């Protein structure tokens, strides 16, 4: 059975090739169907593998395809690994991926680049599957950069728009900064362990110097900062919303951006050994979670709100990783994939209905007009806000409980983040769906529910967002935490909660009460009092302006990195290259020429002159002979 693992990435690859080579000749229906069926087929195989993997000896199986790169002691096979972690991610990627493919057949229906869109989407799924299936760090890196390429292509999908192209370029370049860290980390792993295959590395991790482990862990984490949009490398993700909305759902919410989480869970050995590295992960995570959540408070673009929310939620997952709650973070990856994909797709449905409008200030009162979209998005919003018994409640609560155990201070910031989350999410929901319609007359006339190809994925995801919490029921309730047991075999240090039941109940109660209070507050503000986000930016208070402008971080980066780089480049070009280096070269050349032109004067064709110099020469020779 595990031998079939190659089929999982193969199907999307075939879909990619068919659409890539013959897409123009295919009808939109056929093209979309091929792409969707390819991912569905992967999902089916992934399911079979998943159940099969439960019975594997040692909980894992390695499947070698071919020898890839070999240089003396460095031997890197193209090899896949099936274990509890990879098989679970396979299900998320192909399952959510399939739903989003189906959704896209509706969403992209009128786009002239329809076939091209599915080509890229299939290619993305292929690379994402490689990322989680690889049995060594370099295969992970292949997928890692491959999904980065697809992200680039899809952010800049509408390639005539310069802003979108800039966003795409920015995403690729910032990710490459992270990738360099990742690459150096891989090299250090090879140098320290003589191998980069997971199994061989992890079994020796205990005997390698801890400072080396810390360096490796931090280098890998730089990669994760890029891909999973953590401070300071997060700025590309909000801009990435330039891509079509299904792309935001699949790549920039549910799957690709969680690659950093996957990488750290996969490498949990390092972070369990190196407390320094783990602490760094936790602090960067909580800082990002809080920082992005505050920005989310004052965004008015429906996709930007969700984007900052994603950055913030990813930060929460890293916080969980930093305190050693690996399975809780994977649990949150899963529930987040459900409700954030749902929210993005719902936002896409809203945008679709609004004829391309993304500003929530120009929406309002949509709940009666697009019912399915409204109800499903409502569910998604409750789920992310942490209201029981929806899925987000369980996963977030589990992370926060572990954080509390580690450090009440970090827990406090995590709590604040989730309160902010509840606020900006309900702000988005209320402003969009309640109140009166604020769009144009034409838009009001045009308002309609999306086709079933779009609403069915919404309904499925909404159902998952409701029941997804069952994957990880709290153990102190006396319930089985399936996720915890499932991931147990791949964890180096098992996380066992030492908190008393009373404390756990108290934390949970506090979280629910806080969320409920915030939602009530938002309701008063946006529904009762009909407060609307300020349309005129000039009227914002200074602190609001600061937040609305995302703390001017982009401007800051431009000033300290982009501008200086351009200036250095120009200085190199205009001064060092042309004046200095080439100046010296030409100077040497010219002086040789100059000397030549002086010496040439001697050969002037005057025979008398030659005779005189000959005589002088002979005299000179004799003189020297006599003197010596």
Give the binding site for another protein (CB under 8 A): 66-74, 138, 141-142, 145-146, 149, 152, 156, 159-162, 165-166, 169, 172-173, 176-177, 179-180, 183-184, 187-188, 190-191, 565-566, 568-570, 572-573, 576-577, 581-582, 585-586, 589
Query: What residues form DSSP beta bridges with 62?
Result: 81
Who contacts 431 (Cβ-Cβ below 8 Å, separation ≥6)?
360, 361, 363, 364, 526, 532, 533
3-state SS class at 220? helix
In the complex, least distance from residue 171 CB atom to another protein, rounded to whole angstroms: 10
Nearer to another protein, 183 or 220 (CB): 183
* 8 A C-beta contact, residue 397 and residue 386: yes
Residue 72 burial class via C-beta count within 10 angstroms: exposed 0-12, middle 13-18, buried 19 and up = exposed
Q: CA 380, 386, 388 angle in degrees (round to 5)?
A: 95
Nearer to another protein, 108 or 522 (CB): 108
Nearer to another protein, 7 or 17 (CB): 17
* Helices (H), ranges, 501-606: 501-523, 542-548, 553-557, 563-571, 582-600
**Cα–Cα distance measured from residue 304 to residue 115, given in angstroms and rounded to the nearest whole number:** 27
Nearer to another protein, 190 or 394 (CB): 190
Nearer to another protein, 183 or 273 (CB): 183
How many helices (H) and strands (E) in the chain? Answer: 27, 2
In the complex, least distance from residue 50 CB atom to another protein, rounded to whole angstroms: 26
Nearer to another protein, 73 or 436 (CB): 73
Q: Which two tokens stand for residue 103?
A: 């959704």
DSSP state at residue 451: P
In the complex, least distance from residue 69 CB atom to another protein, rounded to whole angstroms: 6
In the complex, least distance from residue 181 CB atom to another protein, rounded to whole angstroms: 9
Q: Which two tokens stand for residue 493?
A: 């240090």
Nearer to another protein, 159 or 551 (CB): 159
Nearer to another protein, 173 or 602 (CB): 173
3-state SS record for 32-100? HHHHHHHHHHHHHHHHHHHHHHCCCHHHCEEEEEEEEEEECCEEEEEEEEECHHHHHHHHHHHHHHHHH
Spatial CA neighbour of 61 closest among 6, 143, 125, 12 = 6
3-state SS record for 144-178? HHHHHHHHHHHHCCCCCCHHHHHHHHHHHHHHHHH
Nearer to another protein, 196 or 314 (CB): 196
Residue 228 burial class via C-beta count within 10 angstroms: exposed 0-12, middle 13-18, buried 19 and up = buried
Nearer to another protein, 7 or 283 (CB): 7
In the complex, least distance from residue 247 CB atom to another protein, rounded to whole angstroms: 17
In the complex, least distance from residue 303 CB atom to another protein, rounded to whole angstroms: 22
In the complex, least distance from residue 146 CB atom to another protein, rounded to whole angstroms: 7
In the complex, least distance from residue 293 CB atom to another protein, rounded to whole angstroms: 29
In the complex, least distance from residue 548 CB atom to another protein, rounded to whole angstroms: 29
Residue 621 burial class via C-beta count within 10 angstroms: exposed 0-12, middle 13-18, buried 19 and up = exposed
In the complex, least distance from residue 12 CB atom to another protein, rounded to whole angstroms: 15
């Amino acid at each position: 059975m595990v031998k079939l693992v190659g089929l999982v990435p193969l199907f999307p690859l075939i879909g990619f090739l068919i659409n890539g080579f013959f897409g123009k000749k295919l009808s939109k229906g056929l093209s979309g169907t091929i792409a969707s069926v390819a991912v569905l087929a992967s999902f089916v195989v992934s399911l079979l593998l998943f159940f099969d993997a439960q019975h594997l000896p040692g909980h894992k199986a390695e499947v070698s395809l071919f020898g890839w790169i070999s240089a003396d002691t460095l031997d890197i096979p193209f090899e896949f690994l099936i274990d509890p972690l990879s098989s679970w991610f396979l299900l998320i990627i192909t399952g959510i991926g399939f739903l989003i493919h189906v959704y896209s057949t509706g969403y992209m229906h009128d786009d002239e680049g329809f076939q091209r869109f599915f080509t890229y989407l299939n290619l993305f799924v292929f690379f994402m599957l490689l990322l989680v299936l690889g049995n060594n760090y370099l295969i992970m890196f292949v997928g890692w950069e491959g999904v980065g390429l697809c992200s680039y292509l899809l952010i800049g999908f509408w390639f005539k728009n310069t802003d979108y192209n800039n966003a795409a370029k920015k995403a690729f370049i910032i990710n490459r900064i992270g990738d360099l860290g990742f690459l150096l980390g891989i090299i250090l792993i090879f140098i320290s362990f003589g191998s980069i295959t997971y199994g061989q590395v992890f079994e020796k991790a205990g005997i390698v110097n801890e400072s080396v482990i810390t360096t490796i862990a931090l280098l890998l984490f730089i990669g994760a900062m890029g891909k999973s949009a953590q401070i300071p490398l997060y700025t590309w993700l909000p801009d990435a919303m330039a891509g079509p909305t299904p792309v935001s759902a699949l790549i920039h919410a549910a799957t690709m951006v969680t690659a950093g989480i996957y990488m750290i869970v996969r490498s949990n050995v390092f972070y369990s050994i190196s407390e320094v590295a783990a602490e760094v992960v936790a602090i960067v995570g909580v800082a990002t979670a809080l920082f992005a959540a505050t920005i989310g408070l004052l965004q008015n673009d429906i996709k930007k709100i969700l984007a900052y929310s994603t950055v913030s939620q990813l930060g929460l997952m890293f916080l969980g990783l930093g305190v050693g709650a690996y399975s809780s973070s994977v649990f949150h990856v899963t529930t987040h994939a459900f409700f954030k994909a749902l929210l993005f797709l719902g936002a896409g449905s809203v945008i679709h209905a609004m004829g391309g409008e993304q500003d929530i200030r120009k929406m309002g009162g949509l709940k009666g007009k697009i019912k399915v979209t409204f109800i499903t998005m409502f569910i998604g919003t409750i789920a992310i806000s942490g209201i029981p018994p929806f899925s987000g409640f369980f996963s977030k609560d589990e992370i926060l409980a572990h954080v509390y155990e580690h450090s009440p201070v970090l827990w406090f910031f995590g709590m604040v983040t989730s309160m902010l989350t509840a606020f900006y999410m309900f702000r988005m929901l209320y402003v969009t769906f309640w109140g009166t319609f604020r769009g144009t007359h034409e838009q009001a006339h045009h308002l309609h529910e999306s086709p079933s190809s779009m609403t069915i994925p919404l309904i499925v995801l909404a159902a998952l967002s409701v029941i997804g919490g069952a994957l990880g029921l709290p153990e102190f309730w006396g319930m089985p935490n399936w996720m915890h047991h499932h991931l147990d075999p791949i964890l180096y240090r098992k996380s066992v909660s030492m908190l008393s039941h009373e404390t756990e109940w108290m934390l949970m109660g506090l979280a629910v009460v806080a969320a409920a209070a915030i939602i009530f507050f938002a309701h008063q503000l946006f529904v009762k009092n009909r407060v609307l986000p300020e349309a005129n930016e000039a009227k914002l208070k200074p602190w609001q302006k600061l937040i609305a402008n995302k703390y001017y971080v982009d401007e800051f980066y431009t000033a300290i990195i982009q501008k200086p780089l351009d200036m250095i480049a120009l200085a190199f070009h205009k001064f060092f290259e042309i004046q200095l280096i080439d100046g010296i070269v030409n100077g040497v050349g010219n002086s040789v020429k100059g000397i030549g032109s002086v010496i040439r004067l001697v050969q002037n064709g005057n025979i008398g002159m030659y005779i005189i110099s000959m005589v002088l020469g002979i005299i000179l020779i004799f003189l020297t002979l006599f003197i010596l």
